[in-house]
Amino acid sequence: MKFLVADDHDLVREAIGAFIETEGAVEVCLAADLGETLETIDAKGAFDLVLLDYNMPGMNGLEGLQRAITQNGGKPVALLSGTATRNIAEQAINAGAAGFVPKTLGSKSMVMAAKFMAQGEIFAPFSFMQQMDSMGAKQTGLTQRETQVLRGIAEGKSNKEIARDHNLQEVTVKLHVKTLSRKLEARNRTHAAMIARDRELI
């Protein structure tokens, strides 16, 4: 697999690239702005995942995201940011982004998020997405796929059964179960289902 990390801060770009390359055993290319990102995709072909810094030169808000999605042939492109709000993250996902990755995310979590998105899943961190909206309502912070997997767990289904129900690979369901347990601070899948019921997430 090959990933592209685009950020105008040298240290951030290189650190994230190193995390993913070391932990994820993938080839990582780096870019410093949107122009270089588009040129790199053009030169090397579509990447399995492109991580774009929301505030780097050339982005112009979500316009840069759209250009990168088009250039990458529809393959996953996600936003990376240290300052973007939940509203921007939601707009990005609605506009076709594979997810939203805060720069504060730990290295292991970032690698897991990258693998998730490269497999065609949507990623958004629970704690970030659960911020209050403008009306004071708390969002669940779970993606549609995570909610489907959680519902399957609550119904007592195995990973294999959940995978079959939603036309997924079993390994993808296992990754979702791990992420759900971490997001919900659950000890295991049964505990995750109990927490979900208590919080009326399903």
pLDDT digits (tens, 9 = 90+) for 83-120: 767 778 888 888 899 998 888 777 788 888 888 899 88
- Give the pLDDT confidence of 110-169 residue by residue, as tens digits: 888 888 899 888 887 765 655 534 433 345 567 788 888 988 988 889 999 999 999 888
Rounded average pLDDT over 70-81: 92
Average pLDDT, rounded, for the chain: 84
Q: Where in the chain is the domain with CATH 1.10.10.10?
A: 144-198
Query: Is there a contact between 100 and 128 (Cβ–Cβ < 8 Å)?
Result: yes
| Separation in Å, CA 35 to CA 42, 45, 54, 63, 98 | 11, 15, 14, 13, 20
pLDDT at position 93: 86
Tokens 């991580």 map to which residue?
Answer: 51
**In which residue ranges of the chain is CATH 3.40.50.2300 found?**
2-129
2-129 has which fold? Rossmann fold (3.40.50)
Return all residues near 23 (Cβ < 8 A) that are at least 6 apart.
Answer: 107, 108, 111
Quick check: 66 pLDDT over 90? yes
More confidently predicted of 190 and 51: 51
CATH number of 144-198: 1.10.10.10
Model pLDDT, residue 132:
39
Tell me the pLDDT tens digit for each residue of 13-30. Answer: 888 888 888 876 688 999
Q: What are the pLDDT digits (tens) for 29-47?
A: 999 999 999 999 999 999 9
DSSP H helices, 84-169, are: 86-94, 107-118, 126-129, 144-154, 159-165
Whether residue 49 has pLDDT greater than 90: yes
Q: Are 126 and 180 contacting, i.e. CB atoms less than 8 angstroms apart?
A: no
- pTM metric for this prediction: 0.65
